[in-house]
Amino acid sequence: MKKSFIAILTMVAGGSVVYAQDTVVNPQPVVADSDTISAASELSEVVIEAPRLVRKADMDLYYPSESAVANSKNGMQMLRNLMIPSINVNEALGMVTSSGEDVQLRINGRVSSIDQVKSLLPETIKRVEWIDNPGLRYNGATSVLNFIVANPAIGGAVMTNAMPALNQAWGNYFADFKLNSGYSQFEVWGRFKLTNKIKSHREYKETFTYPDGTSISRNETSRGGIMDNSMGNFSASYSYIKPDTTILMVDLSYFKKFSDRFLYKGLLSLSDGTDDILLHDMHGDKGGTPGLSAYLEQHLPDRQILVVDFNASFYHGRSYHDYIEQMDGGDLISDVHTLIKDRNQAYAVEANYIKNWNKSRLTAGASYTANRNRSVYENLGGQVFHQRQDKAYFFAEYFYNLGKVTLTGGMGAQYTSFNFRESDQGNSSWNLRPQFTATYRPADH
């Protein structure tokens, strides 16, 4: 059986130069479907074999075919070529969704971003784990995609990708450099997103009702606006991957928001016939966020696994909002100006323990997240406000396979605390999350 579709590629230019030697042997799973799916473009026909699929009790394993690897330039294209039925891959917007919900992306078990998936070399992806019923370990995720990747033994790779618009100052630009030695890999990558002075408009109607029952409506007519949204990411990382033994990753990153500005002008017409109102609305923010993350997955004897994940970041920036309503004759109705300077710190650590048996699995873990914020309100004479948030999460979950039936049960508990220093106000609470699922699959299909 053969199927075909037309691939329409707009505003995309990309390339890669790769030299790598891979010493990891591909596993040979049972082939669930040997049908060939062909993808044809207007210029030439490209045949992509369906991936090898192995269905397990708690996930589906997709092993990329040789043609899927050959016709992919990065991890996102590889994911698209896997053609997992319930997943929608939008490479232009950088989104992976399932049933309208975001899919949590992981690389070797570690939560990862779209940019990190894009930087993957297709030939290093050994399999993709699709989990459409994640348990308590994933803390609320609706679905999970986990890329199992092995570092090449020697060599390196350079990857570039550009997606500019032809008639607007908009585009996505990406570059990645990898150097491999043994189980180790050194990587440097950067991304720049450009959105500069894109035209924008809005129209709406609002109605105000007074206590005496009378009302007045305001109709807004657009007089034009512009939007800026330019930002960049930079990352330098080291990874040590020895399959089924040790995974170690350390990453230094910096995120910079160069400009996030929305400027809009409009005309408000009132239903009572009074003079029109000129509207000026401008808001935005800019700042930078350096970050540090580390991840360790260690396989222990007797099919035990210990996972530790640490993240820290520091944000320094400012946000502003200017809102003016002015009568056509010159009198001001509203004149609001806000300027806030923020310094935010975030720390998170998570540890999980996994014990596997032939037909069952026990998973237990704990995590702690701390957020600290200091805001200076320049428009209020430089007043300073502090707030803090702490979260602690604990869970234990047991999975058991009874052939065509799988049972999963567990309990999660989350403690949340908020506090505002200046007013000494806040709250704290515990939230219990019991969960039980039973799945029956009559056949592999």
Residues 388/375, Cβ–Cβ less than 8 Å: no
Full set of structural domains in the chain with CATH: 1-151 (2.170.130), 196-445 (no CATH)
- pLDDT given for residue 16 in this prediction: 38
Residues 187/178, Cβ–Cβ less than 8 Å: yes
- pLDDT given for residue 28 in this prediction: 39
- pLDDT given for residue 50 in this prediction: 63
Each residue's pLDDT, cut to its tens digit, for the chain (445 residues) gives 333 332 333 333 334 333 333 333 333 343 444 344 343 334 445 566 667 888 888 899 999 988 888 888 889 999 999 988 889 998 877 889 998 899 999 999 999 988 889 889 899 999 999 998 888 988 788 999 999 999 888 889 898 989 898 888 999 999 999 999 999 999 999 999 999 999 988 888 989 999 999 999 999 999 999 999 999 999 999 999 998 899 999 999 999 999 899 999 999 998 988 888 999 999 999 999 999 999 999 999 999 999 999 999 999 999 999 999 998 777 888 999 999 999 999 999 999 999 999 999 999 999 999 999 999 999 888 999 999 999 999 999 999 999 889 999 999 999 999 999 999 899 999 999 999 999 888 876 6
Question: DSSP strand E in 243-276: where?
Answer: 246-270
CB-facing half-sphere around the CA of 373: CA atoms within 13 A: 18
- pLDDT given for residue 331 in this prediction: 84
The tokens for 115 are: 């940019």
Task: Tell me the C-alpha distance between 81 and 65, whole Å.
Answer: 9
Give the DSSP H or E segment for 76. helix 75-82
Task: Tell me the C-alpha distance between 253 and 113, whole Å.
Answer: 12
Task: Tell me the C-alpha distance between 162 and 280, whole Å.
Answer: 35
Q: Is 235 exposed, middle or buried (0-12, 13-18, 19+ CB in 10 A)?
A: buried
- Report the predicted TM-score, pTM, of the whole model to 2 decimal places: 0.78
Best CA proximity match to 395, nearest among 415, 371, 375:
415
Task: Tell me the C-alpha distance between 115 and 184, whole Å.
Answer: 20
